[in-house]
Amino acid sequence: MKKTILLAIAVYLISSIGLLYGYLHTPSGMIFLGGHLPNSGEILNMVLPQLREGHLLIKNLFTSEPQPRIFFAPSYLPMALLGQILPVNNFLLVQLGRFFYTILFFIIAFKFFKLLKLKNIFWAFLLLGFSSGFGLFLKWGIPNSADLWIPEINTFHSLLFSPNIIFSQILMMLSLMTFFKGYTLQKWKYFLLSGAFATLLAFEHQFDAVTVLLTILIFLLLTETKFKIWLKKIFSLWSIFFGPILVFGLYYFLIKQNWSSLIWTNQNHLYSPPLLSYISGFGLIGIGAFLAIIKSKNKKNSSYHLILSWLIAVIIVIYSPLPFQRRFGEGMHIPLVILSSYYLWELVQKLKKIPFRLGLFFLLLFSAATNFYLLYLDIKAYQLSPNESPFYIYQEDLTALSWLRNNSSDKDVILADGLYSPLIPGLIGRTVYFGHSVGTALTIDPEKKTEQAKNFFFYDSDEKRQKFLENNKITFFFLGKKAAAAEDFSLWEGKDYFRKVFERQDVKVFKVKNSLII
């Protein structure tokens, strides 16, 4: 266990090299927001400020349409509770969350691997923490190699991106662990625990809960050949399936009741890349797992069947006819590592002309190369011009936004330019007109809204601008320091529809006159 914790700390520290560089190279007068390409650190942290304000349920702050609070994100709760105790900003809370979940992830993985009676656990841990694919070496031939751009593709990349992905994978392992213990020991309490973990997972990431349930069904199909026994197992497993299915139904009902939530979920298309992208993205791990399956001597082993079932379940759902099929790949790295660790360990042992430990080192280094390349890309991104970078914000901007948070309500809608709109929800927990169009676009109809905002800033007449503000129920207009050098903010001060309510050097906040919300 001591080695496990030390390795977890090592993985965390190495994955944080880019963040440390960004923090240490913060330009004078600015604040570092963190983040990993292509997003700033505040983009995906809109959950945290909402929880810190006392909202247990959250809503999408990146689109201005009215919507209820219906989403529950348990991964951020410990960070929000810690924020009530310690006077620290959201960036530090997220880093503490990353650290805690990394340690917990490896502790649970250790217990999971021991339950499966996996040999050479430390070797498997090295692969779990650092392995990637061939993306760095094949990027000219396969530019969309999965390890270069999909956050959930492996453990290291998930750590770079967001703590909630690691949290979900912890729940996946816990649910499958407790199910397997219940199956082997024939004890009902473990099925109940498995169902509880799967239910919590369904709140966080519904697609991961689907993977877990499908894994259990495939496992039963592989291990129980007699219909009566299989049917008996199904009836005894209602405690696992009931909770997650109830959450699926609840979310489906709530989303259907609100048109904006329905439009937002329907527009999100995350299709899986071609199979070659995944093959390249997993590299040696994928090859090792494939060879391990072919040469396996454990085909009657229930532990082997559980891991194989997990892999089969993922392969089925990542190309299922669903618009968010790519997200089902989350956690696939774990069964691939378990399967490949057998074969790759034996392969290195057979390299008699090369010292065993040296061969192991070079194999791991080769497998981890793309992850180190991602760190390099982040460091390079932090070197962008301060006025163009999404990773830094001026202190004056933050002061103005803090004032805006204290003088606005949950019902207000803020209009800002493309530099600040992506940051405002995560920084102060307020709704923006538009701000997120990458991947799972959180802004409804982002292309249309971006064009309308552009017209408002540069081309529209005052009459059209006033109508735009009224139609979209915009109550505040924010102008940040990054745009001050290129724009004349004084032009907005004489507008009949604006009243200036805050000014600090090159930062201005306007209240929309006659807005319904005071």
- Give the rounded percent of residues in the chain with a pLDDT score beyond 90: 45
CA distances from 405 to 85, 142, 401, 509 (A): 20, 45, 6, 12
**Number of helices (H) and strands (E), helices first, in the chain?**
22, 9
Comparison of pLDDT for 349 and 434, the residue scoring more:
434
Average predicted confidence (pLDDT) for the chain: 86
Comparison of pLDDT for 294 and 104, the residue scoring more:
104
Averaged pLDDT, 408-418: 90
What's the pLDDT at 310? 96
H runs (alpha helix) in 350-394: 356-381
Amino acid at 222: L
Gap between the Cα atoms of 167 and 378, Å rounded: 23
Nearest-5° angle of CA 514, CA 516, CA 518? 90
Res. 15 pLDDT band, cuts 50 70 90: very high
Gap between the Cα atoms of 84 and 199, Å rounded: 26
Give the count of beta carbons closer than 10 Å to the beta carbon of residue 244: 24
Comparison of pLDDT for 117 and 232, the residue scoring more:
117
Tokens of 230: 């299989």
What's the pLDDT at 282? 93
β-pair partners for 40: 35
Averaged pLDDT, 442-446: 82
What's the pLDDT at 363? 74
Gap between the Cα atoms of 175 and 114, Å rounded: 15
Averaged pLDDT, 312-327: 90
Q: Is 326 left (phi over 0), alpha (psi -120 to 50) or beta?
A: alpha
For β-strands 507-512 and 498-504, DSSP reports them as antiparallel
Give the closest residue to 506 by CA, choosing from 396, 404, 401, 420.
396
pLDDT 10s digits, 89-148: 888 899 999 999 999 999 999 999 999 888 778 888 888 999 999 999 988 888 889 999
β-pair partners for 511: 476, 499
Is residue 506 pLDDT above 90, yes or no?
no
Is residue 396 pLDDT above 60, yes or no?
yes
Render the burial of 362-391: b for 16+ CB within 10 Å, e for the rest: ebbebbbbbbebbbeebbebbeeebbebbb
Give the count of beta carbons closer than 10 Å to the beta carbon of residue 259: 13
pLDDT 10s digits, 258-272: 877 777 777 677 888
Is residue 486 pLDDT above 70, yes or no?
no
Mean pLDDT check: name the lowest of 21-35, 46-60, 212-226, 411-425: 212-226
Is residue 180 pLDDT above 70, yes or no?
yes
Is residue 73 pLDDT above 60, yes or no?
yes
Tokens of 15: 């994955």
Tokens of 236: 């005894």
Gap between the Cα atoms of 450 and 466, Å rounded: 17
DSSP letters, 112-156, are HHHHTT-SSHHHHHHHHHH---SHHHHTTT-TT-GGGT-GGGSHH
Is residue 345 pLDDT above 80, yes or no?
no
Give the count of beta carbons closer than 10 Å to the beta carbon of residue 503: 14
Which residues does 415 contact at the CB level (< 8 Å), separation at least 6?
Answer: 421, 432, 433, 453, 456, 469, 472, 474, 476, 477, 478
Is residue 153 pLDDT above 70, yes or no?
yes
- Give the distance from CA 336 to its chain's centroid: 20
Gap between the Cα atoms of 410 and 198, Å rounded: 32
Q: Which residue has the tokens 């944080």?
A: 16
Mean pLDDT check: name the lowest of 102-106, 179-183, 202-206, 487-491: 487-491
What's the pLDDT at 228? 57
